[in-house]
Amino acid sequence: MSSLIYQVFTSSALLLLGLFHLISTVRNFLKSPRDFTAKPIHALSLWSASSGRLRLLPLYLIIGALTLSFLHQSLSSSEADVLLKGHSPVHLFTSLQSSAVILLFLLLALSLLLSETTYAFSLLPSDLFFALFSAAFFLHSSVASFKASVQTSDLQARCDSISSRISAASSALCLTLAFLPRLFVADVALAASVCLQGLWALQTGLSLYVEAFIPEGCHRLLDVVSGVEGSTKCDLDESKLRAVAILDLAFVVHVIVVVVLVFPVYFVVAKIVGVSRRFGSYEPLPNAADANHVQLKTLSGAQALLLGSFLVQVLGYVICTASND
């Protein structure tokens, strides 16, 4: 039960973070497309919280969630797991690896907080933070890939493998933003990848720990001697292949949901900001002095129209690599 609660908590935190980053990114872009620059964290400025400590509320929530996650991983590392390849020593080191990665994210979040509240850290550029987050996501991808290789549960290994590839995509997007901070599409794709990781965390919890969602032919692991419960395992190869195919299908559905989610968010934010008719047919004809200005606006519109295809290519690559594993 504790594993399921932790997965639901992780899913909720990642989904809220991804949606907030997506909304803030679209809002900043629509307010000033020519001056847009990606930010590793956004202040709470959509409502009447543009000043004071409340504007940093998202960052405080991120730090709190990472702290709870770090404590959970650190405490779970001391528990025995005889159902893992290598048994308890391997479980100890994999849990410590996960704790170390979460600690790295926590330190980066604290650095962002200091950059928003102190002068010395405010001199740190955003591209440095994106590069550090890229390294953190890459480490998370490596740890998840290693955990998948030592699992006796076929479903758990598949879930960890797909999570590893999502983190690898997030790492690549952060690295892209470190070199191209004005690339709006990459920033939106990064927010989408965080949302996708949140949805996959929920799917992992349901597929491994909820009987109603466990595929047919699979069951929960149990060490009768010690009474230790593990995740889900399939006895027959046919059941294993069927369960893996179901997980792959669920992942594709989650990708579609995330891609589709981007468009209503974009248009709703555009309606709120008041630029929904920026590229409409009723815009006055420009004079010669405004030619360059109109050209920049047209390029921004093209970026918005190409957003869907870019997301499909990036996330589609994750699907292909996961399916070919």
| Amino acid 147: pLDDT | 86
Tokens of 85: 């390849």
Q: Band of the pLDDT at 302, cuts 50, 70, 90?
A: very low
Q: Band of the pLDDT at 210, cuts 50, 70, 90?
A: confident
Q: Band of the pLDDT at 226, cuts 50, 70, 90?
A: very low
CA-wise closest residue to 14 among 205, 223, 180, 146: 205
- Residues 215-235: what's their mean pLDDT? 63
Q: Are 33 and 300 in contact (CB under 8 A)?
A: yes
CA-wise closest residue to 197 among 215, 173, 175, 219: 173
The gap between the terminal CA atoms of the chain, to the nearest Å, is 30
Mean pLDDT of the chain: 79
For the chain, the domain total comes to: 1
Q: Band of the pLDDT at 119, cuts 50, 70, 90?
A: confident
| Amino acid 277: pLDDT | 45
- Residues 12-18: what's their mean pLDDT? 95
Domain span at 96: 2-323
- The burial class, CB within 10 Å (0-12 / 13-18 / 19+), for 140 is buried
What span, in angstroms and rounded, lies between the C-alpha atoms of 143 and 190? 20
Distances in Å between the Cα of 210 and the Cα atoms of 1, 63, 130, 249 are 9, 29, 36, 18
Tokens of 202: 């929920």
- Residues 75-90: what's their mean pLDDT? 61
